[in-house]
Amino acid sequence: MRLRCAVLDDYQGIATEVADWSPVADDVEVVGFARHFADEDALAAALADFDIVVTLRERVPFPASLLARLPRLKLLIASGMRNTVIDYAAAEAQAVTVCGTPSASTPPVELTWALLLGLARGLVTENEALRAGGPWQSTVGADLHGRRLGLIGLGKIGSRVAQVGLAFGMRVSAWSRHLTKERAEEVGVELAASKEELLASSDFVSVHLALGDRTRGLIGAAELALLKPTAYLVNTSRAAIVDQDALLTALHEGRFAGAGVDVFDVEPLPADHPMRSAPRLLATPHLGYVSRANYEAYYSGAVEDIQAFLAGSPVRRLG
């Protein structure tokens, strides 16, 4: 009897196109779900008859309560090698093997710059005006060369964002709680004296931290108030690092020039979510990891995980 494998949040219907699933075709039936399940009841009902689940990043939590409602589940595959929304202890107690996949850090770097450049040059406003026969040149672009780019976090993604900023001729500085001067110099950037100094002095601020107890709400109303009126804020990391209510208030009050956001407190965004209509906001539907090469890595890795599991030697185990 073939095992059943569910692929969650396959919005583009691409999971079986970007990877070769033939090595497991005789043993596994693959079913993709193009819609997101909004609550645990709906998810439990949809997954009740599946032995394997492939989930994207940290989009779908797998707490103990959900795992207990999936008695058939034997293998849970999460794209990437880090996932904070799976209850690993509950999975182990239920004999569910949890595995990760390869992933790349370049797609979120590229999207960060897409948002930053889009904000700086008013691309959405100008494109919409051009298509609608509106005014010819209604905005004045913000320069990058010679301006200061402040990075909150200088890890794998942040350091690559820094390199692009340096190539544009920007002055790049960075801050995080444990960032050292030696690490900053290694990347070729300045170490900001403090989070507050970085926010107050930067023309562009980009967030590149993992979400945890110490980073949740790291940028709130007080921090946003430090930004220059001409500054831009970009967040492609996790929504909760920036206080969402404070961000909305600051955007509506025009306290700084604008924000580029790829992550939200609720995903997908409800139709009436205030982020959909916020002024001075360039927003994308969590596209940071969404690239063909990354999807190829995710789903090819998932096939490898399934093969190894069926052979009795799981690989890339998480937890």
Mean pLDDT of 224-230: 98
Percent of the chain with pLDDT strictly greater than 90: 99
Tens digits of residue pLDDT in 32-72:
999 999 899 999 999 999 999 999 999 899 999 999 999 99
d(CA 295, CA 204): 30
Question: Which residues, other chains included, contact 81 with Cβ-Cβ below 8 Å and sequence gap of 6+?
Answer: 100, 101, 102, 103, 316, 318
Is 286 among the residues known to form the active site?
Answer: yes
148, 238, 255, 304: the active-site residue: 238
CA gap 217, 207 in Å, rounded: 12
Residue 114: CB partners within 8 Å, gap ≥ 6? 284
Cβ count within 10 A of residue 231: 24
CA distance 53 to 13: 16
Token readout for 262 is 């790829």
Assigned token pair, 90: 């509950």
Q: Which amino acid type is present at position 66?
A: L
Catalytic residue among 267, 280, 296, 316: 267
pTM: 0.94
- Give pLDDT, residue 1: 85
Give tens-digit pLDDT for 154-180: 999 999 999 999 999 999 999 999 999
**Beta pairing class for 28-32 and 75-78:** unpaired
Q: Distance between CA 175 and CA 203 in Å, rounded?
A: 15
Instruction: Please report the pLDDT score of residue 10 as a whole number.
Output: 96
94-138 pLDDT tens trace: 999 999 999 999 999 999 999 999 999 999 999 999 999 999 999
Q: What angle do CA 43, 48, 54 make, to 5 degrees?
A: 65
Residue with tokens 């599946």: 50
Q: Among the options 58, 255, 286, 304, which is catalytic?
A: 286
Name the 3-class secondary structure at 195: helix
Does the pLDDT of residue 319 top 90, yes or no? yes
User: What contacts 225, CB < 8 A, 6 or more positions away?
Assistant: 250, 255
Query: How does DSSP classify residue 235?
Result: E
Query: H or E stretch including 28?
Result: strand 28-32
Letter for the amino acid at 79?
S
Residue type, 232: Y
Of 318, 303, 297, the C-alpha closest to 27 is: 303
Active site residue 276: no
Instruction: Write down the pLDDT at residue 38.
Output: 82
Token pair, residue 39, equals: 């609550």
Separation CA 313–CA 309 (nearest Å): 6
Q: What is the pLDDT of residues 75-99, one digit of tens each?
A: 999 999 999 999 999 999 999 999 9
Residue showing tokens 């396959």: 10
What does the pLDDT look like over 174-205, one tens digit per residue?
999 999 999 999 999 999 999 999 999 999 99
Average pLDDT, the chain: 97
